[in-house]
Structure 1
Amino acid sequence: MRIIYASYNPFTPEVRVGAHYYSSLMAKEGHDVLYLAGPDFIFHQIDARKHVREGCRETQRIKRMGPVRLEEGPVQYLPDSLIPTLRSLPIVSRLWPFNSSWAALLAAKATWPPVKTVARNFGFSEPDLLWIENVRYLYLADTLKPARMVQRVHDMTLASPAERSIRELFVEAMRRSSVVFCMSKSLIDDYVARLSGDPRKVHYLPNGVSSEWFKVPDSLPEPPDLAPLPRPRVIMVGVYEFWVDYQKLWRLADMLPDVSFVMVGPVRVALPDGKPPNVYFLGKRSHQVIPAYLRNSDVGLSIFTRTAFTEYVNLIKLYEYLAMGLPAVSTAHRELSLTEAPWLLADSPEDFARAIRQSLELGDKDRQAFVEFARANTWEKRFEIVKEVIGL
């Protein structure tokens, strides 16, 4: 089967999201997969924002490679766009035409080389399936004439202020898709079931964890930058953006001065003043080395702000913490409270401190239970659901 998988995130050493796992599993099953990332605004490399310019180094490397078959199986293509998206120009995010679905669609159409040309050159004219997550690529449903379209709705997209310009495209994609997968129960209740046009075609498909995590040795050497940090260690892995509650993290660290708070991942905002000395930002790391950081930590953390944007999150990092036998402590987002999982939820710094202290007292039996929960919630098991629902 020829599948076009239209998503956002390119395959990089640091980031692995659901789109990477699903497209790789499709290729592993013998399907021919064209993985579309982006599009990326061509002038991001001269953006005034430092984190955008730094991110361009990796995307430029990917774009220079052109369409290329990855070790994971899919052919990846990350095109340049000549038109900025709402994310590209936050300063004009409320101004027409940048806040319109027309502009969002144009950003995906105005690519070089054109996506439809690349798709045709690789034999993806009239594909069997268009799997759409990035609805900027919705125009491919008309230009390439797929036999079928399936949509996967992310946990925060419909509520995200950055996605306001493409909400109409989300609705159109849901109505045109024969099946809609959504990773958030609360997002289904609030938006997807109603906007899809037919709730019967909507299926709950939460995030998960790769089965590769269960092959990680029980003991790994401490990474050199982690070794000097005293235990106990509370670790958070991810991208440090506006959704992280830094003030709450500072207060929490002040309350637990004997705990090292280890932050792994790229920082894409200016950190507020007052960072306690026991909070350590180590920077971005390859996804392949993250297990060594988790194996040598004591508690996994997610501490986000609570907004309409974050209440729908179903966090991959929590499943990965549990797969490593780590207790997981997270902000009590609505979606996480609806999931029957062994993570601990908290709101105030005092709640977080109690949950962390409680987690540090857990024994091997509890930690093994975390691993078994994660083992029952792998991407591979999620993919079996996909295959059953769409007959893949």
Structure 2
Amino acid sequence: MNRDLIVFGEDFGGLPSSTQHIVSRLAHDRKILWVNSIGLRQPKLNKHDVKRALSKLLGRGKGGYSSHAKPLPENITIVNLKTIPAPRSSWARELAKSLLLSQLKPIIDKLNLVKPILWTSLPTAADLCGHLDESAVVYYCGDDFSSLAGVDHDTIASHESKLANIADLILGASPAICEKFDSRKTTLIPHGVDYELFSQPAQRAIDLPNNNKPIAGFYGSISQWLNYELIASVCLANPNWDFVFIGPVELEFNPLPKLSNVYYLGPKPHDALPSYSQHWDASLLPFKLNEQILACSPLKLMEYLATGTPVVTTPFPALEPYKQHVNLVNTAAEFSQALNHVLNKSSINSEIVRSDSWDARTQAVSRLLETL
């Protein structure tokens, strides 16, 4: 019999993380108690952070389950808990722990979770380990938190160090992440792809530009990991192309170039993305090679490949297994050459990522969980 899970992850819904992809599939044969984000950083004195902190103190998520997403599996219970985001001092950590435990234990009893596995993707859950009558602790590390912008790095490092020591199993999304932890209990679980969603033909999105020009597109966070100088140069040098960007702006201003051939379409539901990426002519990964990118395993890489659309990308380590299937560029001039090249090239074979499906990843994780 598969053991139930208590999961500490991001706020469930919207664009699903690797944790959501795996845990949603694990829910087919076990109960899941999903705790919406308990925070990775302390709020600053600005409107956005104050609002976010109040939401956490009042036990509200920032968006909840997206109505555009797939139906919520019946075995998953989602809760928003009142908490102190990323507590730093010992007294704040103790207060946050007590606050969370007082809310969690009645829910665990109500759901009849007996000796569940505690799974966390957030280091800030470290102080709860050993207090929820769990049978084992799993740390799923999908990011190098020490390189993430806007995170209280010292605070998170303290939590992560404690969690890494307590955890019975550590799952790392990239080799660089795995190297941070004890190899005897760490396993590489690379990100996967919802192959069926991205490979099955989807109708063209109505808000894609329709100017009889080829389209180059990107979806994902508009954040510090993109090379905006490179993007501006490429967009300016290729007026015969339209450039489309989809995703939330996570900076204080929109850094995309203000050009007539640049279109920012805002965030889109995850299951709507194929109606964009299947119908543009080149998928873009214009990353800045920072510490975050060196350790990352971008979900969108395999989603792009599953559509069969040519990919133009700057280099980063997670590309290695797929290098022969993408167009690698380092400069704006190489980027422009690659765009011209893909127009005269047939689509790529999406079968190259079929074996990397989230279903396959979840089967591997399930086997690991049952050995604990």
TM bucket normalised to smaller: 0.7 to 0.9
| SS of residue in 2 equivalent to 1:80 | coil
Report matched runs for 1:232-311 at 5 Å: 232-269=214-251, 270-272=253-255, 274-311=257-294
User: Retained in 2: the 8 A contact 1:233–1:298?
Assistant: yes
Q: Which runs of 5+ in 1 are unaligned?
A: 64-68, 86-97
Encode CA deviations 1:75-104: one digit per residue, 9 max, x unaligned: 1112232x244xxxxxxxxxxxx6568756
User: Retained in 1: the 8 A contact 2:140–2:170?
Assistant: yes
Encode CA deviations 1:252-277: one digit per residue, 9 max, x unaligned: 11122111111011223202485322
Encode CA deviations 1:12-62: one digit per residue, 9 max, x unaligned: 2x311111111111111x111111221269x98x95239977xx7x93563
Change over 3 Å in CA distance of 1:255–1:176 after alignment to 2: same
Query: What is the match of residue 366 of structure 2?
Result: 387
Query: What is the match of residue 32 of structure 2?
Result: 33
TM-score (norm. length: structure 1): 0.80
| In 2: Cα distance, 1:289 partner to 1:224 partner | 11
Query: What is the match of residue 119 of structure 1?
Result: 108
Report matched runs for 1:1-392 at 5 Å: 1-12=2-13, 14-28=14-28, 30-39=29-38, 47-49=46-48, 59=61, 62=64, 70-71=72-73, 73-81=75-83, 83-85=84-86, 107=96, 110-111=99-100, 114-124=103-113, 126-127=115-116, 129-161=117-149, 162-164=151-153, 165-189=155-179, 191-192=180-181, 196=182, 199-213=183-197, 216-217=200-201, 220-269=202-251, 270-272=253-255, 274-337=257-320, 342-364=325-347, 367-368=348-349, 371-391=350-370
1:338, CA displacement in angstroms? 6.6
Change over 3 Å in CA distance of 1:259–1:247 after alignment to 2: same
Encode CA deviations 1:204-240: one digit per residue, 9 max, x unaligned: 11101013325622xx432221143443111111121
TM-score (norm. length: structure 2): 0.84
Change over 3 Å in CA distance of 1:273–1:325 after alignment to 2: closer
| SS of residue in 2 equivalent to 1:376 | helix
| SS of residue in 2 equivalent to 1:114 | helix
| In 1: Cα distance, 2:128 partner to 2:357 partner | 30
| In 1: Cα distance, 2:357 partner to 2:172 partner | 16
| In 2: Cα distance, 1:78 partner to 1:212 partner | 31
| In 2: Cα distance, 1:273 partner to 1:236 partner | 12
| SS of residue in 2 equivalent to 1:118 | helix
Letter in 1 for 2:139: Q
| In 2: Cα distance, 1:117 partner to 1:73 partner | 18
Calculate percent identity across the aligned residue pairs.
22
Change over 3 Å in CA distance of 1:375–1:285 after alignment to 2: same
1:321, CA displacement in angstroms? 0.7
Encode CA deviations 1:335-392: one digit per residue, 9 max, x unaligned: 334766623333322232233333333214xx22xx1112111111111221233327
Change over 3 Å in CA distance of 1:291–1:119 after alignment to 2: same
Which structure ranks higher in relative contact order (CA pairs < 8 Å, sequence separation ≥ 6)? Answer: 2
| SS of residue in 2 equivalent to 1:169 | helix
Aligned positions, number: 355
Query: What is the match of residue 90 of structure 1?
Result: none
1:180, CA displacement in angstroms? 1.2
Query: What is the match of residue 68 of structure 2?
Result: none
Change over 3 Å in CA distance of 1:168–1:383 after alignment to 2: same
| In 2: Cα distance, 1:112 partner to 1:175 partner | 21
Encode CA deviations 1:133-154: one digit per residue, 9 max, x unaligned: 1122223322112111121111
User: Retained in 2: the 8 A contact 1:230–1:260?
Assistant: no
